[in-house]
Amino acid sequence: MNPINLKKTVAGDLEGVIARLTEALKGQGFGILTRIDFHSKMKEKLGKDLPPVVILGACNPALAFEAYTRAPDVTSLLPCNAVVREIAPSQYSIELAKPSSMMEILGDQELTDMACEADDRLLKALEAL
């Protein structure tokens, strides 16, 4: 298993895949706080063309609050990134940052252990796609 993220390849169109991912995350208590169309920003800022890449900022408020009350520095690692990246026509890689890997940065084992619940929920969302 990848130590940084959870991944799955799915078929569909960009907006359809994003909608399915959003619903799967919602089923695990996550909402989408932000959306960055990375490919559009690279075109706008650098004039560079990329296949579609969308970064969603996903957050489970209950888990985020629990982590914050344990260690306020955790906010620099929130929200969890959920990436939808075109890898071939009608094929998308879904990549969900593993919260436990992010929490390891802070060096607090209890916080890392708490983040494993978020890992499990994200994995369930990914499996639901």
Do the beta carbons of residue 119 and residue 61 sit within 8 Å? no
Share of the chain above pLDDT 90, in %: 84
Domains of the chain: which residue ranges? 5-127
Calculate mean pLDDT across residues 17-24: 98
Residue 1 has pLDDT above 60, yes or no: no
Determine the topology of domain 5-127 in CATH.
TATA-Binding Protein (3.30.310)
Q: What is the pLDDT of residue 107?
A: 87
Q: pTM for the complete prediction?
A: 0.92
Do the beta carbons of residue 111 and residue 118 sit within 8 Å? no
